[in-house]
């Protein structure tokens, strides 16, 4: 089994920055796709960004391109989400997700991922 633990959420003013972390433990693989989704109140969970562990490429939702950056630390089994120029509409619970399957493809759907963290709240005030 794989466990994902997120950290780094909080309250920030519009225009500010936050960095989220997600560490995988348990049965970890050499080839992952790990990503971030978010869910605002009353809305569906949506894709934010993901990274292919072995291939190294990353991809983003249009709404966060140029503001958010995903990165990874292989030795720590950790993926990071640097969020800059935050907007009130970025307010949501952010979830880390991972999968061993098709990790070298771009995976945008919730059901593409097998493992999920518990979520961390990000609140951006105007």
Token pair belonging to 84: 């800059």
Share of the chain above pLDDT 90, in %: 81
DSSP secondary structure of 68-100: EEEEEEGGGTEEEEEE-S--GGG-EEEEEEEES
Contacts of 41 (CB under 8 A, 6+ apart): none
The per-residue pLDDT for range 17-73, each reduced to its tens digit, is 999 999 999 877 678 899 999 999 999 999 999 999 888 899 999 999 999 999 999
């Amino acid at each position: 089994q794989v466990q994902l633990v997120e950290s780094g959420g909080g309250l920030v003013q519009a225009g500010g920055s936050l960095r989220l972390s997600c560490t995988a433990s348990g049965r970890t693989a050499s080839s992952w796709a790990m990503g971030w989704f978010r869910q605002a109140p009353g809305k569906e969970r949506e894709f934010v960004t993901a990274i292919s562990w072995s291939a190294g490429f990353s991809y983003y939702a249009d709404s966060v391109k140029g503001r958010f950056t995903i990165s990874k630390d292989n030795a720590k089994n950790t993926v990071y989400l640097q969020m800059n120029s935050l907007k009130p509409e970025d307010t949501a619970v952010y979830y880390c997700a991972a999968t061993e399957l098709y990790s070298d493809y771009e995976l945008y759907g919730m059901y593409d991922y097998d493992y999920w963290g518990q979520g961390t709240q990000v609140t951006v005030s105007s």
